[in-house]
Amino acid sequence: MTTGASVNLVLEPIFSTAVWGAGWYNAADAAHYADAALRYEGSIDLELQMGAGGAFWDMMADFIVAKRAYSRSLEISPDGSHVYQYYNTSNTTYDTKGAWCRSANFSTSEGSFVTCSLGVVAIFRSEVDPIGGHNYSDFSYIKQANGVIASNCSTLASTNPLNPSGGNVDPIPFWKTNAQLGVGTYSSPFQTPTLPQTGLETVEWSIDISNHEKILYTCSGSRLPRAVLMGPMEVSGNVTLYNPAGVFDPILGPAQTGTLTSPYAYAENTWFQIQIAKPGSGNVYIEVPAAVISSDNYSIQGADSVTNRSFGIKGLGGRCSTTTTLPPCIISTYSGTPPLPPPE
């Protein structure tokens, strides 16, 4: 469910700094400018849901990682009157239509849902007025009486209100997730991780994905850019762990088997996996197949605070699964399998 969206027109006028002969009374820093190219950029904040057959989850997996070079369709109305449409041609057509994923942040902690903030960018949109040019206030009594979505029971049902079947997955609460660092032999995506020590509990976690998109501006006579190109994927995250016996040291390890020159956890034998429970049974996954522990925080706490250990991680490329080189982050389909990119 969307909790907020702010995808707006980006205006970046090109101001001239040419000397134009003003005196001290009327000397402005600029008096001439030219229009720059346009784009549409912002974010969409979500409370993730797991019901309704997982269609939205699979769309997210493709949009963020597996098919990130291709756009998706969005429709946003900030005022109930104007509707901004970012419609793609198709999910496997590469052109200037639709919206692309710039970034994604997944996180949760005690007392929270699993949330996601999606950064999006588009270079073309259309605008429609669904109520025939009238102001929103002209129809306020209709909107206030029945709402935009709630007026249609079948549409409202698609958001799974009232916790249907008691599954507690719409939206997903923090306790339905588990995030762990696996240390050992990595054989395949989404395998059950080998934990560094028994008794580890996850307190909170987050993962950040940046696609470092590049927008192609050309001298074409058009004010709109010509393409959105995906750059290298950057992945980082954090996980906070608790253990009544203390949390392991990433260099020396839980049994002091590592050394300063041969650390216990390194990218070849370390990965980061997030499990999110589906309705009934099974999980969906977000995974960093090859993780470097980039920071370690194990501090003395106050008198009424729990002593946890927080690790920062960075995802690397280069991990192979059978014949496929994996990206720094993979997101499972709803069925729990790694999504594949479209054929070239």
On whether residue 296 sits in a domain, the answer given is yes
Please give the helix or strand (H or E) that residue 141 lies within, else none.
helix 140-146
Q: Mean pLDDT throughout 94-116? A: 95
Q: How confident is the model at residue 148 (pLDDT cuts 50, 70, 90)?
A: low
Please indicate, yes or no, if residue 41 is contained in any of the structural domains. yes
Beta bridge partners of 73: none
Position 205 in a domain = yes
As a whole-number percent, the residues of the chain with pLDDT over 90 amount to 62
Closest to 311 (Cα-Cα) out of 253, 213, 227, 241: 241
pLDDT at 10 over 60: yes
- pLDDT one-digit tens code per residue, 49-71: 887 778 889 999 999 999 999 99
Please list the helix, strand and coil fractions of the chain in percent, rounded to the nearest 5, in that order. Answer: 10, 35, 55
pLDDT reported for residue 144? 54
Given a cut of 50, is residue 260 above it in pLDDT?
A: yes
Q: Is residue 271 part of a domain?
A: yes
pLDDT of residue 343: 66
d(CA 102, CA 41): 9
Average pLDDT over residues 131-150: 58
pTM across the whole model: 0.90
Q: What angle do CA 342, 343, 344 make, to 5 degrees?
A: 115
Cite the beta strand spans of 27-158 per DSSP E. Answer: 33-34, 39-47, 74-76, 83-86, 99-108, 115-122, 126-128
Residue 143: pLDDT over 60: no
Q: Which of 126-135, 188-197, 198-207, 210-219 has the lowest mean pLDDT?
A: 126-135
Mean pLDDT, residues 140-153 taken together: 65
Measured CA angle at 121 (ends 117, 122), to 5 deg: 140
pLDDT digits (tens, 9 = 90+) for 150-174: 777 888 888 888 888 888 888 999 9
Mean pLDDT of the chain: 89
Examine residue 26 and state whether it is found in any structural domain, yes or no: no
Domain hosting residue 209, numbered range: 2-11+35-331
- The CA-CA-CA angle for residues 124, 122, 213, to 5°, reads 140
- Residue 336 domain-assigned (yes or no): no
pLDDT tens-digit readout, 281-322: 889 999 999 999 999 999 888 778 888 999 999 999 999 987
Q: What residue type is assigned to position 104 of the chain? A: A
Q: Exposure string (b/e) for 238-257, b if CB count within 10 Å is 16 or more?
A: bbbbebeeebbbbbebbeee
How far is 275 from 178, CA to CA, in rounded Å? 5
Domain count, the chain: 1
54 is a domain residue: yes
pLDDT of residue 131 exceeding 70: no
In a domain, 338, yes or no: no
Q: What is the pLDDT of residue 34?
A: 94
